[in-house]
């Protein structure tokens, strides 16, 4: 497009700046990337008013709409840009992700395929399609397309990681763990590993106290993979464990650990390091040799204390059902896994239960609008840490939860749990099964249709 094209009307009102189109587009793009969504929205609106048929304005404005949560508008704008400029590969490439966000997986696949047609050498186009195929649970195809992306750009961590997730979800654990190693090259993994010239541990024995184990990733992963610390300690006795302060009291329950640190500068000398999430690969964990759960337990005194508290708070003679309905909003898949409290309505209809929410974070506010039939005790505000949560779970009949750290806490202590999962779940829950080799006390309730929870909670409620 020509530099002479201008965004603002021909005779702008005094005080309004006229800037060249290319500059305006760049500015819009920058605002969007810097998360300045209100400003971006404002600029997009002005640009669209000046040039309503410009495909790139429409496209960027669509992205801004998407980021602002106005998905229908985003799709309308971006589809229009595609009609005007059907040969621009970028448009279907981005469209693919927007359709995914809207839950329109078939459209997303078509857009992804079109993007590859237009730009067969664009690794990103392949990657986007691989994501959609994972969502569609077309895992073999997802791996194939991710491989195509990797062939074009061998050092493409996101594509490797996507491939890992597809392989792991398909139960192809050994291959999956290898690709999984790429996770530390992901942008969001920065700072998770120490800055050191020491090597990553290769699984060979080391002298006592010379292995540093790092509690990387989320709480859930740390709890899940924490079970392998005793295995590591057999090879490298008394390992140093570096983890956040909140995790320390949990991991302390595991045998064989040398010392705990919460800051890199306190680790002292070591010969090699290994993130917790690297242990399954070294230990050769598949779906048939997972070390048993039950490796964590809350202190008996705390269990008794919470028992008394719950006796005081909950009406007698009702089954206590613990509940978590929302995850950490910053989690990449939170939209997929998180529900609203009121979506658990089928549970609330039962008059033989008392809901004990162990939800933490801002989402607890939803408990204020609860008027269901079953009594609901919003216990989150009293919970200090995961040890409290464990002690509470020992005092309830069952936990009903989404895929979040509390599910791992429950699984690790062997608390009976109903876990509701999206159609395309996190890899660790595998496919087509109601149980999980990681946690025998957890029963899985899967979405039948992607992004549609109807029927899922009903099944949970019916089986309580």
Which lies closer to other proteins via its Cβ, residue 297 or residue 313? 313
Q: How many CB atoms lie within 10 A of CB 432?
A: 7
Q: How far apart are CA 152 and CA 126, in angstroms?
A: 9
Closest contact distance (angstroms) between CB of 368 and other proteins is 3
For residue 319, the number of C-alpha atoms closer than 13 Å in the C-beta half-sphere is 16
Which lies closer to other proteins via its Cβ, residue 382 or residue 452? 382
Which lies closer to other proteins via its Cβ, residue 153 or residue 305? 305
Give yes or no for a contact between 88 and 75, defined as CB atoms under 8 angstroms apart: no
How big, in percent rounded to 5, are the helix, strand and coil portions of the chain?
50, 10, 40
For residue 41, the number of C-alpha atoms closer than 13 Å in the C-beta half-sphere is 12
Within positions 25 to 54, which residues make up the interface with other proteins, using CB under 8 A? none
Q: Using the 8-state DSSP alphabet, how is residue 355 labeled?
A: E
Piece of 204-212, 291-299, 381-389, 399-407 that binds other proteins (CB under 8 A): 381-389
Please tell me the count of residues contacting other proteins according to CB under 8 A: 26
Closest contact distance (angstroms) between CB of 322 and other proteins is 13
Which lies closer to other proteins via its Cβ, residue 24 or residue 379? 379
Within positions 81 to 110, which residues make up the interface with other proteins, using CB under 8 A? none
x/- map, 236-265, other proteins, by CB under 8 A: ------------------------------
Closest contact distance (angstroms) between CB of 303 and other proteins is 13
Piece of 30-38, 379-387, 421-429, 438-446 that binds other proteins (CB under 8 A): 379-387
Q: How far apart are CA 55 and CA 78, in angstroms?
A: 8
Which lies closer to other proteins via its Cβ, residue 299 or residue 315? 315
- Among the listed residues 389, 398, 316, 320, the one whose alpha carbon sits nearest the alpha carbon of residue 359: 389
Within positions 145 to 204, which residues make up the interface with other proteins, using CB under 8 A? none
Which lies closer to other proteins via its Cβ, residue 286 or residue 380? 380
Q: How far apart are CA 21 and CA 321, in angstroms?
A: 58
Which lies closer to other proteins via its Cβ, residue 13 or residue 368? 368
Closest contact distance (angstroms) between CB of 101 and other proteins is 27
Which lies closer to other proteins via its Cβ, residue 297 or residue 302? 302
x/- map, 299-318, other proteins, by CB under 8 A: ------x--xx-xxx-xxx-
Binds other proteins (CB under 8 A): choice among 14, 87, 191, 371 = 371
| 38 exposure class (CB count in 10 Å sphere: 0-12, 13-18, 19+) | exposed
For residue 271, the number of C-alpha atoms closer than 13 Å in the C-beta half-sphere is 15
x/- map, 341-370, other proteins, by CB under 8 A: -----------------------xxxxxxx
Task: Please name the residues in contact with 344: beta carbons below 8 A apart, sequence gap of 6 or more.
Answer: 323, 325, 400, 457
Which lies closer to other proteins via its Cβ, residue 309 or residue 459? 309
Closest contact distance (angstroms) between CB of 390 and other proteins is 18
| Buried b or exposed e, range 299-337, using 16+ CB within 10 angstroms | eeeebeebeebbeeebeeebebbbbbbbbeeeeeeeebb
Q: How far apart are CA 218 and CA 246, in angstroms?
A: 11
Give yes or no for a contact between 101 and 71, defined as CB atoms under 8 angstroms apart: yes
Closest contact distance (angstroms) between CB of 361 and other proteins is 9
Closest contact distance (angstroms) between CB of 397 and other proteins is 18
Task: Please name the residues in contact with 224: beta carbons below 8 A apart, sequence gap of 6 or more.
Answer: 408, 411, 412, 428, 438
Which backbone phi and psi does 67 adopt, to 5 degrees?
Answer: -65, -30
Which lies closer to other proteins via its Cβ, residue 290 or residue 390? 390
| 426 exposure class (CB count in 10 Å sphere: 0-12, 13-18, 19+) | middle
Which lies closer to other proteins via its Cβ, residue 11 or residue 330? 330
Closest contact distance (angstroms) between CB of 299 and other proteins is 14
Binds other proteins (CB under 8 A): choice among 81, 224, 338, 378 = 378
Q: How far apart are CA 448 and CA 455, in angstroms?
A: 8
Closest contact distance (angstroms) between CB of 311 and other proteins is 7
Binds other proteins (CB under 8 A): choice among 13, 265, 384, 432 = 384
Piece of 57-65, 329-337, 377-385, 441-449 that binds other proteins (CB under 8 A): 377-385
Q: Is 382 in the site for other proteins (CB under 8 A)?
A: yes
Strand order in the sheet with 240-242: 259-261, 240-242, 211-214, 272-275
Which lies closer to other proteins via its Cβ, residue 184 or residue 370? 370
Which backbone phi and psi does 10 adopt, to 5 degrees?
Answer: -55, -50
Residues that bind other proteins (CB under 8 A): 305, 308-309, 311-313, 315-317, 364-371, 375-382, 384
């Amino acid at each position: 497009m020509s530099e002479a094209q201008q965004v603002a009307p021909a005779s702008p009102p005094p005080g309004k700046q006229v800037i060249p189109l290319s500059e305006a587009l760049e500015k819009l793009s920058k605002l969007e990337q810097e998360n300045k969504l209100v400003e971006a929205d404002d600029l997009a609106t002005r640009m669209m008013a000046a040039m309503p048929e410009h495909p790139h304005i429409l496209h960027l404005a669509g992205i801004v709409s998407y980021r602002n949560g106005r998905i229908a508008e985003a799709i309308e704008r971006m589809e229009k840009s595609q009609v005007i400029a059907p040969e621009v590969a970028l448009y279907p490439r981005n469209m693919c992700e927007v359709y995914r966000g809207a839950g329109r997986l078939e459209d997303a696949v078509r857009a992804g395929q079109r993007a590859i047609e237009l730009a067969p050498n664009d690794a990103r186009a392949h990657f986007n399609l691989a994501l959609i195929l994972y969502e569609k649970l077309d895992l073999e195809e997802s791996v194939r397309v991710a491989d195509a992306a990797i062939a074009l750009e061998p050092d493409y961590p996101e594509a490797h990681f996507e491939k890992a997730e597809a392989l792991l979800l398909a139960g192809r654990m050994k291959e999956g763990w290898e690709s999984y190693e790429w996770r530390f090259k992901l942008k969001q993994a920065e700072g998770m590993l120490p800055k050191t010239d020491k090597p990553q541990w290769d699984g060979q024995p080391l002298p006592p106290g010379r292995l540093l184990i790092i509690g990387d990733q989320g709480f859930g992963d740390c709890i899940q993979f924490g079970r392998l610390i005793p295995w590591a300690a057999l090879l490298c006795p008394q390992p140093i464990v570096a983890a956040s302060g909140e995790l320390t009291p949990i991991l302390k329950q595991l045998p064989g650990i040398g010392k705990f640190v919460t800051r890199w500068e306190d680790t002292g000398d070591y010969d090699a390091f290994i993130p917790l999430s690297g242990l399954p690969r070294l230990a050769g964990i598949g779906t048939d040799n997972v070390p048993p759960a039950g490796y964590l337990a809350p202190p008996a005194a705390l269990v008794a204390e919470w028992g008394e508290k719950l006796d005081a708070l909950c009406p007698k003679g009702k089954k206590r059902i613990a509940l978590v309905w929302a995850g950490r909003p910053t989690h990449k898949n939170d939209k997929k896994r998180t529900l609203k409290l009121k979506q658990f309505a089928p549970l609330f209809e039962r008059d033989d239960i008392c809901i004990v929410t162990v939800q933490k974070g801002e989402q607890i506010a939803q408990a204020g609008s609860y008027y269901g039939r079953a009594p609901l005790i919003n216990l989150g505000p009293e919970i200090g840490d995961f040890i409290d949560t464990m002690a509470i779970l020992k005092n309830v009949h069952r936990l009903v939860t989404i895929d979040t750290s509390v599910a791992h806490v429950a699984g690790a202590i062997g608390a009976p749990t109903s876990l509701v999962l999206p159609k395309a779940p996190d890899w660790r829950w595998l496919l087509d099964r109601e149980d999980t080799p990681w946690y025998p006390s957890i029963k899985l309730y899967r979405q039948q249709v992607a992004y549609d929870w109807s029927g899922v909670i009903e099944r949970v409620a019916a089986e309580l």
